[in-house]
């Protein structure tokens, strides 16, 4: 019986992958990689790029291509059996990674390659990055410390998966059933239709509310019943915590505590004072102090205006409903009403202008105009779910046949057993396998929007369109690379605090008349958005911008200070909540209730790659706003601007330092001013 994970296929055979295939395949591939490395080190005397770095990269890619569909399936069609096998492999993969990173003979081989003066600039960047990775993996540690380091890495891998599983299980465990529309007043038709479909899926009559993001946001934004909003808010903000006594085995608090302790210990083993120092070692930011100063600088610009925005919202709520003190479950509800009154524009009312087909067509046309590419759908591809779409992307060459440069899967809809949020991940990385064979990049683009009901196509809110464009920006960074060395192709080798630049850059096209005209057309009448609505959409972009900025700064400061200020001697159970309270006292304009356990669902830093790095969203937002200001100066569809961005940033991957790429594009280092102007936040506030 063949194992689909071990077959050398261009794309994964998703329908053939079963849970029993996983561990067998991983163990076999790891053994092959180990034997390959042993043979290489024993037979090669003089190490160079061709005989050492290239074959190791190809061997590493085999493991990546095997594990990619496993990790993805676990995220988008999760099952008990698949999860168990996935999680059983995490210690094996962690152990292999540590073995590789701590191999002193291999480290010496890389140092030998580094001594070669004939390396290209890209090869030099890769070797320098790899040598740093060896040091951060503990290659210089004594044997006992290396063993402990490997134990920590393995345990952290397990803890991250457990954290994510707890959040998913807690999300799926909660629901509220309504036999009729009574109690659901205010919810738009789209939300009611989705709730009705959710009930039918569970063989129930009426409507079923869940904590899936489209449902949760609809209730918080439109439900007139305050008690329902509070109930949903509490259920969502206490997921995987001690506030869910009926599911105490999903409490992430012990995982958070152990994770922080292990990260701190690991950083100290490597000679860093804390995990924040360790995290910054591979980022654009020079040191933790620069990060803190950056975040506090943005807070200083935003705090007074944020207070004014909250006061205006409170006055409005008091005016229409006699509310004297806003609660967290009131903010989205009254904000949407105030937005509608102030700008005569509603997210829900905009849905008919953003039908899925038209949005995708517009997105692809915008991409085509910027970079001379063509995107075509294919239907002969094996997929993990019937809702998934697949597209190829081609460079348009007027003199020759169009050249395919990559492909992507698109999984847009929320469903049970699918991780929440939106993300881009790699299925395949661009790599030159031989002189004749080029492996093209393939991306997973995943969102969680309401699925279409019946034979009607899905209708998106404008916020959802922004999310789609964001993830597509990540996808373009992965797909448009022209770098053949896998270590720095696409998003590989890109500093984490710069990786959001292409994604945040793409969001801007959701507000411009020229680009909106390509995707915003009424589903029935085909009429474009009127000039009045276009103007109001742009005016509304700055609505409560300071409050939104402060919310992101709260998350960023909490994450960074949590890792910066951690003390191994601090056994106080409340140390985490103390940091969170301190941050909120500093930058928040509205305090959540004591029972809020936001941190227990903060998957970005406890189950993702953003530990002591959540600030990257704001850091990269400065970069993207500055890049966008260049496009505004030149015209957003100016061919030379698109070519310039593609040449200097999008196609370059991690082949150069992020700051060097930015300076090559902009002609100077980044300025915070374009972001403050874009969001209507004055430096004088």
Q: From the centroid of its chain, how far is CA 426?
A: 12
Nearest to 258 by CA among 511, 591, 573: 573
Structure tokens at 131: 């040598």
Rg (C-alpha) for the chain, rounded Å, is: 25
Task: Give 682's Cβ-side CA count (13 Å radius).
Answer: 4
Place of tokens 């683009």: 445
The residues, ordered by sequence, that sit 6+ positions from 260 with a Cβ below 8 Å of its Cβ are: 275, 562, 563, 566, 576
Per this entry, what is the length of the chain? Answer: 685
Q: Beta strand 403-413 with 442-449: parallel, antiparallel or unpaired?
A: parallel
**CA gap 364, 509 in Å, rounded:** 12
In 3D space, the residue among 110, 150, 152 whose CA is nearest the CA of residue 130 turns out to be: 110
Does the CA dihedral 139-142-146-148 come out positive or negative? negative
> What is the Cα–Cα distance from 552 to 529, expressed in whole angstroms?
30
In terms of DSSP H, where are the helices of 271-384? 275-280, 288-321, 328-343, 347-350, 356-371
Residues 432 and 417: their CA atoms lie apart, in Å, by 36
User: Catalytic: 464?
Assistant: no
Return the closest-CA partner of residue 295 out of 556, 478, 517, 493.
556
Annotated active-site residue in 196, 309, 471, 500: 471
Number of H helices, E strands in the chain: 26, 9
Active-site positions read 471
């Amino acid at each position: 019986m063949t194992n689909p994970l071990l077959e050398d296929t261009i794309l994964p055979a998703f329908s053939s992958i079963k849970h029993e295939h996983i561990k067998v395949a991983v163990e076999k591939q790891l053994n092959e990689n180990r034997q390959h490395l042993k043979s290489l080190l024993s037979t090669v005397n003089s190490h160079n790029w061709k005989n050492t770095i290239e074959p190791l990269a190809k061997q590493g890619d085999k493991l990546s291509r095997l594990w990619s569909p496993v990790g993805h399936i676990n995220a988008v069609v999760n099952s008990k059996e698949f999860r168990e096998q996935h999680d059983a492999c995490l210690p094996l993969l962690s152990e292999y990674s540590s073995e590789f990173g701590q191999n002193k003979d291999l480290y010496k081989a890389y140092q030998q390659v580094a001594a070669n003066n004939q390396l290209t600039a890209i090869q030099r960047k890769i070797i320098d990055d790899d040598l740093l990775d060896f040091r951060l993996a503990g290659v210089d540690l004594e044997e006992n410390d290396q063993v402990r380091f490997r134990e920590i890495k393995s345990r952290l891998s397990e803890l991250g998966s457990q954290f994510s599983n707890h959040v998913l299980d807690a999300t799926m465990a909660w629901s509220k059933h309504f036999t009729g529309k009574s109690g659901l007043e205010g919810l738009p038709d789209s939300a009611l239709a989705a709730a009705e479909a959710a009930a039918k899926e569970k063989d129930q009559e009426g409507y079923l509310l869940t904590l899936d993001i489209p449902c949760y946001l609809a209730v918080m934004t439109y439900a007139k019943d305050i008690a329902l909003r509070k109930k949903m808010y509490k259920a969502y903000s206490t997921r995987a915590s001690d506030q869910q006594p009926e599911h105490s085995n999903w409490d992430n608090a012990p995982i958070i505590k152990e994770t922080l302790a292990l990260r701190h210990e690991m950083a100290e083993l490597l000679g860093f004072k804390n995990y924040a120092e360790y995290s910054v070692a591979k980022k654009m930011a020079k040191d933790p102090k620069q990060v803190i100063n950056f975040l506090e600088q943005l807070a200083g610009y935003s705090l007074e205006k944020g207070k004014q925005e909250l006061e205006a919202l409170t006055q409005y709520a008091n005016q229409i409903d006699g509310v004297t003190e806003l609660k967290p479950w009131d903010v989205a509800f009254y904000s949407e009403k105030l937005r509608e009154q102030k700008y005569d524009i509603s997210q829900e009312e905009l849905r008919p202008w953003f039908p899925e087909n038209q949005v995708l067509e517009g997105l692809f046309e915008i991409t085509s105009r910027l970079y001379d590419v063509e995107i075509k759908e294919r239907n002969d591809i094996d997929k993990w779910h019937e809702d998934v779409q697949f597209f190829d992307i081609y460079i348009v060459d007027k003199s020759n046949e169009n050249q395919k440069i990559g492909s992507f899967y698109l999984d847009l809809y929320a469903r049970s057993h699918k991780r929440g949020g939106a993300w881009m991940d790699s299925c395949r990385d661009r790599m030159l396998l031989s002189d004749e064979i080029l492996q093209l990049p393939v991306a997973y683009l995943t969102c969680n929007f309401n699925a279409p009901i019946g034979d009607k196509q899905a209708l998106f809110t404008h916020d959802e369109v922004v999310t789609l464009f964001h993830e597509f920006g990540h996808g373009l960074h992965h797909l448009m690379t022209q770098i053949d060395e896998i270590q720095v192709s696409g998003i590989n080798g890109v500093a984490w605090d710069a990786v959001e630049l292409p994604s945040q850059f793409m969001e801007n096209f959701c507000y411009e008349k020229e680009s909106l005209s390509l995707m915003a057309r009424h589903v029935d009448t085909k009429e474009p958005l009127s000039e009045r609505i276009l103007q109001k959409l742009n005016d509304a972009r700055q609505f409560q911008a300071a409050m939104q900025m402060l919310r992101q700064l709260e998350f960023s400061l909490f994450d960074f200070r949590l890792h910066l200020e951690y003390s191994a001697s601090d056994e106080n159970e409340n140390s985490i909540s103390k940091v969170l309270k301190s941050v909120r006292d500093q930058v928040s304009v509205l305090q959540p209730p004591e029972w809020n356990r936001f941190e227990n669902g903060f998957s970005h830093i406890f189950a993702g790659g953003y530990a002591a790095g959540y600030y990257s969203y704001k850091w990269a937002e400065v970069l993207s706003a500055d890049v966008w200001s260049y496009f505004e100066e030149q015209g957003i569809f100016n061919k030379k601007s698109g070519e310039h961005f593609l040449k200097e940033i999008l196609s370059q991957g991690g082949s150069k330092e992020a700051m060097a790429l930015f300076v090559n594009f902009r002609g100077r280092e980044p300025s915070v001013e374009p972001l403050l102007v874009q969001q209507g936040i004055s430096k004088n506030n």
